Structure 1
Amino acid sequence: MSVRQKKQEMLAAMHRARALEPSSFVPNPLLDTLIKTMHLKNDAELCRVLEVQPPIISKIRHRKLNVGATILLRMHEKSNIPIRELKELTNASMH
């Protein structure tokens, strides 16, 4: 088996394991609420307002990156939504 095949098998196994584990982190309600609240058109505008690179928002939306303290604080500062409410939005669809 080649190194490439081993890597592909490992990635496939990680994706299967990730799909099975329950996650309470659901970023779409958070990002969608920010876009709606700040009257933005899309993720690109959200990136500009939050002053982050587009891959950051993309990774958050696709659940490859959690919302860290720095970006959470920036979301709060730019939207005036309380931090507690922002955190609750990431769990919104789990309740």
Structure 2
Amino acid sequence: MNVRQKKQEMIEAMNRARALEPSSFVPNKLLDTLIAKLNLKNDAELCRVLEVQPPIVSKIRHRKLAVGATILLRMHEKSDMSIRDLKELAIDSMH
């Protein structure tokens, strides 16, 4: 692999990493979609369904906490949405 290819590979890796930065994280779309799909009324009901404490969902909604693997799996199990779809909902389409 030549220097040019290595540079291009590093740029692509940086772009992939940038897509996962907190600035591109849009939790409201993810949480609101889950609430609608599960026919829930609010975040409190979502907390009960996902079996998490209300501060967890509140911190996610206010971008103080990222969606971790455990809660992502619970969202997948309860909604039957694919992990990929859930992740795409949480990433700003502008990035």
Structure 2 residue runs without a partner (length 5+)? 1-20
Aligned CA distance change for structure 1 residues 43 and 22 (closer, same or farther; 3 Å): closer
Retained in 1: the 8 A contact 2:25–2:92? no
Size of the aligned set, in residue pairs, is 75
Residue 63 of structure 2 is aligned to residue 66 of structure 1: no
Distance 1:86 1:42 in 2: 18
Q: Equivalent residue of 1:46, what SS?
A: helix
Aligned to 1:84: 84
Tell me which residue corresponds to 2:25. 25
Aligned-partner Cα distance in 2 for 1:90–1:54: 19
* 1:4-29 Cα deviation digits (max 9, x unpaired): xxxxxxxxxxxxxxxxx971111000
2:32 and 2:81 map into 1 onto residues whose CA distance is 13
SS at match of 1:23: helix
Residue aligned with 1:36, SS: helix
TM-score, with structure 2 as normaliser: 0.74
Which structure 2 residues correspond to residues 22-61 of structure 1 after superposition, within 5 A? 23-61=23-61
The alignment's TM-score, normalised by the length of structure 1, stands at: 0.74
Name whichever of 22-31 and 62-71 sits farther off: 22-31
CA distance in 2, matches of 1:55, 1:44: 10
Partners of 1:41 and 1:64 lie apart in 2 by: 23
Is the CA contact (8 Å cut-off) linking 2:28 and 2:61 kept in structure 1?
yes
Structure 1's consecutive aligned runs of 4 or more residues displaced over 6 angstroms after TM superposition are none
CA contact (8 A) 1:26 1:93 kept: no
Structure 1: 5+ residue stretches without partners: 1-20
